[in-house]
Structure formats: structure tokens, C-alpha cells
Structure 1
């Protein structure tokens, strides 16, 4: 039995789909099971609730061989520790209590170099907590997701511009969530690995924001430009959306760390290089997402 958290989320839904295609028995934890498509809901066991709830994870992890763990951090959390580490504590207790063999988690690049890196530092602290539970653990460590640009699809479509607080010519890796999900599903189905390790997912190439603008322009058939914004503007935008002070500052601190080269410290290896190119992602995900 494999347990999937965030089964309706961007990554979790793709992990779930891959596991079901392979015929694996799956149990999901869902706050709102009605959000699961009918054809999915009829093929999985469903435990209703939050995976921060001790009773929920105790029930969900019973007789489970492996767990896909993802924290969709509450933007209103009072602190980064509360959003990532405290959220995960009940699960770590349940891993031990229920004898879960393997956990695959979604985290971030930066181990050994992330200093005051906001959400990244909190993700790494979460990894340490899980590893300390004694469970066999693989942390998928990623740079920025290509799919995050979907949040700016309206601006790209209407104004031909997208924004970030990163130098336009800074090249860095970025990856597609489909490749993260594929890596996670492969590990969840493989009972042969043991111990604790990071698994980088770096995409196929390093690109700058200006490179992204050029590729989007070519694929969408319309001019798209990149505009850099300040870290203060990033923080203010999150506060306007209702984020807490701590979570908004954590986002700004993470972006500052990325500007300083956080995502460039992991050596690119064949194992860490995943297949989906940014051009392919634009053609298959961004372009079909709306009328351009």
C-alpha cells in the first residue's frame, strides 16, 4: 500500500495518476475528497482530513509500505517552522508507530549552503525531522518549477510580461512538475532502497529569465518580456494576498538566496537531469492552458 498526500495538488495528482496506471494499491489523504475525480475516487482508499492531524495520519499510514509526503505550506502560518516542521511532526510519529518502510518527500536544493533561505531552510529542516524518525527517506530536491509560471499566465497573455526578483541573465536549473512526479512514483514503487539521501531533480538545462522570455515568445507566437521586481515588491504582494509576515518574508529570503546562486550549487549529473525541456513544457502545458 502506497499513501499519497496532496492528491489533488499539482504534483500529488500526477504522482497518484502514475501509481494508478501502474496498478499499485493507493490510499490518499484528502481534506475534500469531492475534489478527487470520480474515476480516481473509486480506485483508491480515502482518508479524509489534513495530514497534519495525528489521528488522520495514524489511520492513513496503517499497513502502508511507502508514503509520498508533500507540505503545501499554509501561507497564513505564524512561522516557517510551524508551516513545515510542526506540520510534519505527527507524521513522523506515525511513521514509527505504523512501521512505514519508506518515505519520498518534496523539498528543495541547498543542503549545506542554505543560510536564512526562507522556505528552503524550512524544507531542509523538515527533511532532517523525517530522517530523524528512522524511516528510509528520499528527499526530492528541486530548483524553481516551470509550472510556477502558470500563476502569471494572465499577465503573460494580456500584457506580454512576467516578473521575478532574479537577474535577467542569471542562468539556473528549473524543472517540470511532471518530472518530479515521475521521480517520486519510481521511488515509491521501488522497495530496494534504504537509508537517507537527497535526489536532485534539475531539469535538462540551465536557463535565464531572458531565455525563458525568448522561448515563450517563440512558442506562443507573441512577444513576451521579463521584468525584474524588487524583493520588497515580492514581500508586499504576498502580504496583499493575505500571507502572514513570516511566510511573506520567507518567500523574499528564499528568492534572495536563489539570486545569490542557491540553485546553482548542485552538480549536474545524468541521474539528476530530467527530460522535460522548457520549450516542451511551454508547448504542452503553458500554451494549452488558455487562449493566447
Structure 2
């Protein structure tokens, strides 16, 4: 039987096609699942641990570190949301899913990448560069999403805020186009079910450039508490990451990323959200207001 176009439109009407979600329990993946479920789209979640899979969604056990386990996940799938954790394993994981998708006859991949590919030179390391190249060269339809810093990263400040402590500032006075993860997920969901985003690279930012102090001010207004920040030297950041058990390569790359932000190179505003969704991006103030309870005692 011939495959249906990914947007599901035929002369006989509209039908749905199976979509595979990787990273379905994370910040972005869970939001993508929620949006597609609300639209009535059939979904399948790839997971290593079925006990953590989202409820009400078909689940298949598989591991990007075991490429041979991916065949059941992509069987009968038309579109894949490819979310791989940034790190030394990202390229290997991306390549494993791209190969599995090609072998299974998947039609489209929507990859969650990084704004780093907009601001870094070819000589500088970005863990998503090889994966993007593999997706583009796969012969499949594709859409790339390159988000800036997530507004939800502020949730890491919840504990010190509740304890009356200053917010740790890892990025100095540098500003970023902080993006609401819900915007990223909405773009991803639409790209998975519509052909209009194919071949597009969307750099996704919020509507304004914000420093950590700016975010603290807006969050303080949302929760009704004046907030302060304290600068954390990058040497201390690296020491804390290593003490937590992080791989040294990952820790070094994290610090390098923070150095790039501190230098001002990630002070980027882009129109990706508006181009994809036809509306302005959500402000950090709106995100903070919606998530205020998480920061209150």
C-alpha cells in the first residue's frame, strides 16, 4: 500500500500517521507528546525504561546505544522527532536513528539541534553538527530546530530561591534570546504533521535578549519576591561538575559553552518561532508567571 503524505491529507479526507518521539519524558519531548496527543495523532515513545513512559502513548523499548534495538521503534512510522542529549554520544545516537529510519522507510525527521550551529565556527565543537549533516544527507524530508537557552533552565534556581539564597549566575552580564520550551515543542509538533516546514532550519529564540539578572527581575515580579544573583566563576563551575560525577569531556564542553555565552556570542534574536507559527514568541515573563508556583515555598 502506498505511503500517505506526512501531513495526512488525501483526496478522501484527513488521516493520521504514526509518529515516533524520542526523549518523550524530557522537557521538550513531553510537551511534544502533549500537543500531538491533543491533536489526536497516533504516537509511539521510544524509551529504555517503560516505567517512565508517558501514559496513554504506545511505548517501545529501545536504546540509541544499541542500534539493533531500534527496528521495532521505527516500524510503520512516518515521522521521527529526534532528540539526542548533547554530549560526546550525540552524533553516534543521531546516526543510529537516521540509519534505522532510512531502513524502515520513514519519510521525515524533525531534529532538535542547537543555536550553537548558528554562532560557532566549523572549527568549534558542537555535538549536533554531525547529526544535522546526517539528517540532511539522509534523503528523507527534514526540519531542524535550533533553540536558544530554555526558559525552563530557571527551574534550577527553585531551591536557592525557596531557601532565600541568591541565584547562581553562570553567564555574567551576557544576554541570550531565552526561549519558552513550549514554543519549541509547538514548532516541533507542527513540523511532524505538516509538510510546510520541510527543508527549514528554525533558530528559535524568545522576543528579547535577557541576562541572568534580567530573568531574576522578571521572575521576582512573578512570584512577588525580590531576587538577587551571585556570579559563579567558571573554574568553580567545572569543579562542581566534576565533583558531581560528570565526565571531564562533558564538563569541559559545558564550561566552553558558558565562555562563549559570556563573550556575548549567543546574544541572538531570531524570527524562527514567528516564521513557523505565525505569532510572536512567548516572553520569559509569561513563562515565569505560569511557573511561579514552582519557586514558592
TM-score bracket for the superposition, by shorter chain length: 0.7 to 0.9
- 2:45 aligned partner: 28
Change (3 A) 1:117 1:248: farther
Among 41, 56, 60, the alignment partner of 2:69 is 56
User: Could you say what the CA RMSD is over the residues aligned between the two structures, in angstroms?
Assistant: 2.1
Bigger Cα displacement from structure 2, 5-14 vs 47-56: 47-56
Structure 1 residue 62 displacement after superposition: 1.5
| Cα distance in structure 2, aligned partners of 1:3 and 1:112 | 27
TM (norm. structure 1) is 0.87
2:58 alignment partner in structure 1: 45
CA contact 1:28–1:46 (8 Å) conserved in 2: yes
1:236 aligned residue (236, 239, 258): 239
Contact (CA 8 Å) 1:92, 1:129: kept in 2 or not?
yes
1:221 aligned onto 2:227: no
Matches for 1:81-96 after TM superposition, within 5 Å: 82-96=88-102
Partner residue in 2 for 1:76: none
Give the superposition deviation at 1:194.
3.4
- Looking at structure 1, the residues matched to 224 and 268 of structure 2 have their Cα atoms a distance apart, in angstroms, of 34
Task: Decide whether the 8 Å contact of 1:174 with 1:205 is kept in 2.
Answer: yes
Mapped partners of 1:193, 1:280: distance in 2: 26
Q: By how many angstroms is 1:173 displaced?
A: 0.5
Shift in Å, 1:226? 1.8
Counterpart mapping for 1:93-112 below 5 A? 93-111=99-117
Paired residues for 1:176-191 under 5 Å: 176-191=180-195
**Whole-Å Cα distance in 1 between the matches of residues 118 and 293 of structure 2?**
39
1:200 aligns to what SS in structure 2? strand
Shift of 1:202: 0.7
Partner of 1:289: 294
Taking the aligned partners of 1:280 and 1:123, their CA distance within structure 2 comes to 29
1:260 to partner: Cα distance: 2.2
Pairwise mapping of residues 1-292 of structure 1 onto structure 2 (< 5 A)? 1-37=18-54, 40-41=55-56, 44-73=57-86, 80=87, 82-111=88-117, 113-115=119-121, 121-168=126-173, 170-195=174-199, 197-265=200-268, 267-268=270-271, 270-271=274-275, 274-285=280-291, 287-292=292-297
Distance 1:20 1:167, change over 3 A: same
Number of matched pairs: 276
